[in-house]
Amino acid sequence: MSQDKNPGPKEIVEEFLRIVMIPDPVAARAFTSPDLRIRFTGGRPMRDPAEASAFNAARYAWVKKRFEQTDLVAGATEDEAIVYNIGTLYGEWLDGTPFEGNRYVDRYVVQRGKITKMEVWNDSAEWMLVRAGLATL
What is the CATH number for 45? 3.10.450.50
3 located within any domain: no
Q: pLDDT tens for residues 30-88?
A: 999 999 999 999 999 999 999 999 999 999 999 999 999 999 999 999 999 999 999 99
pTM: 0.91
- Helix (H) and strand (E) counts for the chain? 4, 6
71 in a domain, yes or no?
yes
DSSP run (H or E) holding 66: strand 60-72
For 17, the domain range is 9-131
Closest CA to 62 of 91, 20, 24, 33: 91
- Does residue 136 fall inside a structural domain? no
Among 23, 27, 30, 76, which residue's Cα sits nearest to residue 53?
23
